[in-house]
Amino acid sequence: MSYVLSVMDQVKKRNPGEIEFHQAIEEVLLSLEPVIQKHPEFAKAGLLERFCEPDRTIMFRVSWVDDAGAVQVNRGFRVQFNSAIGPYKGGMRFHPSVYLGIVKFLGFEQTLKNSLTGLPIGGGKGGSDFDPKGKSDAEVMRFCQSLMSELYRHIGQDLDVPAGDIGVGAREIGYMFGQYKRLQNAYEAGVLTGKGLSYGGSLARTEATGFGLIYFVREMLAAHGHNYEGKTVVISGSGNVAIYACQKAQSYGAKVVAMSDSNGYIYDKNGINLYTVKRLKEVERKRISEYVKLHPEAEYHEGCSNIWSLKCDIALPCATQNDIDVPQAEMLIKNGVIAIGEGANMPTTNDAIKLFLEKGVLVAPAKAANAGGVATSALEMSQNSMRLSWSFEEVDRKLDGIMVNIFKAAQSAAKEYGAEGNYVDGANIAGFLKVANAMMAQGIV
Ligand code: NDP
């Protein structure tokens, strides 16, 4: 058995039942075979075994009282995955599906993603099985305060810097920051990112992941003689990433015809009215189905995964993991899709990615294509350290430059390791090499 396969085997045995973590490990390790062949010293140093084992895993009880006076108990997580190149950095996810396997897969991906940004940040991730949907603001606040009452002792601006993810937006970050500040008795602005503008947040952080995705895909399309002008785009999700990907794609002349939430999708042949989606999702916190009440020419369909049966040139999965499996990939290919841009983390299964690549569909992998969010979080940390704020245009310009560089890094690593045009392997290799070299230099720790 090769070194890579034996490490994969060990990870599966050591982390039973954590299927998302196994999937993420497999996708990355298989693409590292040529790297390991070129660098036998990595195997000798047990590098992959160490790379696949988080530095630290924290799991804790979060007790809180709901509006009816009943006691609720959730579980909180923080996985500090790898700090070879900087403090742990990665979001918090609040969703009922959250368990250790999801947090570990996200922390592992985050390590490579953060490396790709070229900024000095390590990888971590956290969250809870708490569902903010249908909860009052007061309930969300009490939950966030209870969670932070434990988490605060494990994080810090030079140690571990959480941010948002699914179910964690500006409201949740605000409540967590308030509680951290109270417990720590110090104003450490850099301990969380995604903060409100009035207390240390960065302009363009809200837009960054969606905008960054569109910048990365722009570079990938250009490298293959395409652009956005007149292209039909389908986007899954209608959260933070989906909304700003839609906005930037529209600004480049693409027509976004569909978006979704976990209940179903809307199809608007005239092009999605983003103003309506923003109001429904960002202000009123309603379901996407409400869209058709305001735009009767549009259609609403129950079941979110059927969105991939729509004909499009560019598919942007921006909701959650494993959104596109082989049947959805087959439909997209049949309908002539040119490119997939992964806005969500691991939205495409490994088999579906394989199929896309075999059929010549361009794939912008999540860890590269959605790295704009964390990159801008790192810019937020820089502004906090310097105690100043950059303009929207300045942050956006830096973000664009970072995304161009990430694309170039993935492109040249793919070429160097014999996988030209395969940005999935390219991103894995480029992200890994930087962390691997740092780990080698730091000895067996
Ligand atoms: P949001 O909570 O803002 O939005 C998530 C969207 O996806 C919602 O429309 C939600 O629908 C839908 N969704 C969530 N879970 C499911 C599910 N199980 N099935 C179907 N649809 C689902 O999250 P974000 O936009 O921030 O995150 C989306 C993805 O992007 C995630 O994979 C996240 O890890 C990734 N990401 C986010 C970054 C960021 O900066 N925000 C940075 C990098 C990656 P509903 O409202 O019905 O639940």
Question: For the segment 43-72, what is each residue's pLDDT rounded down to a tens digit?
Answer: 999 999 999 999 999 999 999 999 999 999
> 54-187 with 206-369: one CATH topology?
yes
SS3 321: coil
Q: What is the largest CA-CA distance in the chain?
A: 64
Q: What is the residue with the minimal CA distance to atom 47 of ligand 1?
A: 262
Taking only the tens place, the pLDDT of each residue in 9-39 is: 999 999 999 999 999 999 999 999 999 999 9
Substitution site in 108, 261, 406 for ligand 1 pocket (most atoms within 8 Å of beta carbon): 261
Please tell me the residue having the least CA distance from ligand 1 atom 27.
Answer: 166
Q: How many H helices and E strands in the chain?
A: 18, 12
> Cβ < 6 Å from ligand 1: which residues?
95, 164-167, 209, 237-242, 261-263, 304, 318-320, 343-345, 370, 373
Q: What is the pLDDT of residue 1?
A: 83
Supply the pLDDT for residue 35: 97
Work out the angle between the directed axes of helices 423-441 and 392-416 (0-180°, nearest 10).
90
Which pair of structure tokens corresponds to residue 164? 């948002």
Q: Selecting from 3.40.50.720, 3.90.79.10, 3.50.50.60, 3.40.50.300, what CATH number does the domain 206-369 have?
A: 3.40.50.720
Angle between helices 423-441 and 19-31 (to 10 degrees): 90
Is 125 among the catalytic positions? yes
CA of 238 to the centre of ligand 1 (A): 8
Average pLDDT rounded to a whole number, residues 127-156: 97
Is 294's pLDDT higher than 90? yes
CA distance 130 to 392: 33
pLDDT above 90 for 444: yes
Name which of 303, 346, 302 is nearest 324 in CA terms: 346
Nearest-atom index, ligand 1, CA of 281: 46
**Mean pLDDT confidence for 330-342:** 98
Q: What is the pLDDT of residues 243-266, one digit of tens each?
A: 999 999 999 999 999 999 999 999
Task: Taking each helix axis as running N to C, give the angle between helix 19-31 and helix 350-358, from 0 to 180 degrees, rounded to the nearest 10.
Answer: 40
User: Among 89, 104, 113, 125, which one carries the catalytic annotation?
Assistant: 125
Residue bearing the CA closest to ligand 1, atom 43: 370
CA dihedral 184, 186, 190, 194 (to 10 degrees): 70
* pTM, rounded to two decimals: 0.96
The residue count of the chain comes to: 445
Select from 251, 249, 295, 254 the least CA-distant residue to 273. Answer: 295
What is the tens place of the pLDDT at every residue in 74-87? 999 999 999 999 99
CA distances from 364 to 29, 117, 213, 403 (A): 18, 15, 9, 12
Q: Is the pLDDT of residue 164 over 90?
A: yes
359 token code pair = 């059929």
Query: How close is the Cα of 320 to the center of ligand 1, in Å?
Result: 5
Query: What is the pLDDT of the chain when averaged over all its residues?
Result: 97
pLDDT of 51: 98
What are the domain boundaries of the chain? 1-53, 54-187, 206-369
CA–centroid distance, 2 to ligand 1, in Å, is 36
Atom of ligand 1 nearest to the CA of 168: 2
Ligand 1 atom closest to residue 260's alpha carbon, by position in its atom list: 9
What is the per-residue pLDDT for 296?
96
DSSP bridge pairs for 232: 255
Say how many Å lie between the CA of residue 266 and the centre of ligand 1: 17
Among 133, 240, 244, 281, which is best to mutate for testing ligand 1, by the most ligand atoms less than 8 A from CB? 240
Tell me, what's the pLDDT at 420?
A: 96
| Atom of ligand 1 lying closest to residue 106 CA | 34
The residue nearest atom 15 of ligand 1, judged by CA position, is 320
CATH fold, domain 54-187, is Rossmann fold (3.40.50)
Q: How far is CA 72 from CA 144, 180, 307, 404, in A?
A: 13, 21, 35, 46
CA of 318 relative to ligand 1 center, distance in Å: 6
Q: Which atom of ligand 1 approaches the CA of 374 most closely?
A: 42
Ligand 1 centre and the CA of 441: distance in Å? 37
The answer, yes or no, to whether residue 102 has pLDDT greater than 90, is yes
Q: How far apart are CA 272 and CA 261, in angstroms?
A: 14
Mutate to test the pocket of ligand 1, among 103, 165, 246 (most ligand atoms within 8 A of CB): 165
